[in-house]
Amino acid sequence: MSVMNKFRLDGKVALVTGASRGIGHAAAMGFADAGAEVILCSRKLPDLEKVADEISKMGGKAHPIAVHAGKMDEISNLIKTVEATFGRLDILVNNAGTNPAMASVLDSDEKLWDSIVNLNLKGLYFLSQGAARIMKSHGGGSIINVASADGYRPEIMVGIYSITKAAVIMATKSMAAELAQYNIRVNVVCPGPVNTRILNSHWFHLPEKEAKEQKAELAKTIPLGRVAEPEELAGAMIYLASDASSYTTGAEILIDGGMMLAGPVPVH
């Protein structure tokens, strides 16, 4: 097999959470372009159907399934549906995440903690568990978690979000160590600022002009001089999903434009 062919995903079934927009949408489109059959998951079916239509128009196959990736009963039903419908699962991308609500350590309440932890960490763990059971019975697979540069360096006013993303990095390593014996590889991508709804939620409370100015100031702190677009993460995910990364597990890929080299993120 040629080197470039190792990046192909033909014949593989991939499940992407948070697939209706942002990084999840970019991953789903990239996987479909590489030949995978893609299961699209998020809470709103109409949004998923639009993505499925995009994939269909480019000649790919996609299946939208509405699911809340932070609710245990819905995760369980999703795993059952995947196994019954497709009979296999080769790739899982744990991308679904909740907006990092702006609140200080002193002001965060239990409800906020539970909403962020349940989706960003608990749901990721148990969806991975269900997916790994399917993968184990079919000879292996690839699990790709989406953490954040905030998992390395806490961001002011989004402490709970930062805590969960640090935990996702450790969850990746724990899963990788245990699941390697079943040929299940587990890796994590850690984006810096990406032009998504989660990033833009930092400035929802500001007038539009001020929000744009603050986003521009953030870009100036990044060595590459700009905020990333979601599509710029798809290549790393295709690598981790494909046979090109057959000897890669427990790895962290930081995709931050050099942000971690540049010092503290400005506080607003």
Separation of alpha carbons 68 and 52, rounded Å = 18
Predicted local distance difference test score (pLDDT) of residue 202: 67
44 inside domain: yes
Predicted local distance difference test score (pLDDT) of residue 268: 39
Q: Which tens digits make up the pLDDT trace of 74-98? A: 999 999 999 999 999 999 999 999 8
Domains identified in the chain, total number: 1
Assigned token pair, 67 = 């699911």
Residue 162 dihedral angles phi and psi, to the nearest 5°:
-60, -40
Q: pLDDT at residue 138 above 50?
A: yes
Structural domain that includes position 176:
4-195+229-256
203 inside domain: no
Q: ∠ at Cα 32 (92, 239), nearest 5°?
A: 60
What positions carry a catalytic annotation? 161
Per-residue pLDDT, averaged over 195-218, amounts to 77
200 inside domain: no
Q: Which tens digits make up the pLDDT trace of 18-57? A: 999 999 999 999 999 999 999 999 999 999 999 999 999 9
205 inside domain: no
Predicted local distance difference test score (pLDDT) of residue 265: 53
Q: pLDDT at residue 215 above 60?
A: yes
What band does 236 get if pLDDT is binned at 50, 70 and 90?
Answer: very high
221 inside domain: no
215 inside domain: no
**Would the CA dihedral through 102, 104, 107, 109 be positive or negative?**
positive
CATH number at 172 reads 3.40.50.720
Residue listed under structure tokens 């640090």: 166
Residue listed under structure tokens 């990095």: 169
Residue listed under structure tokens 């296999």: 88
Predicted local distance difference test score (pLDDT) of residue 196: 86
9 inside domain: yes
Assigned token pair, 104 = 């200080």
The SS3 of residue 136 is helix
The four Cα atoms 195, 199, 205, 211 give a dihedral, to 10 degrees, of: -40
158 inside domain: yes
> CA-based Rg of the chain, rounded to a whole angstrom?
18
* Strands ordered across the beta sheet of 61-66: 61-66, 37-42, 13-17, 91-94, 141-146, 184-191, 252-255
Separation of alpha carbons 161 and 198, rounded Å = 11
Predicted local distance difference test score (pLDDT) of residue 245: 98
Separation of alpha carbons 155 and 36, rounded Å = 36
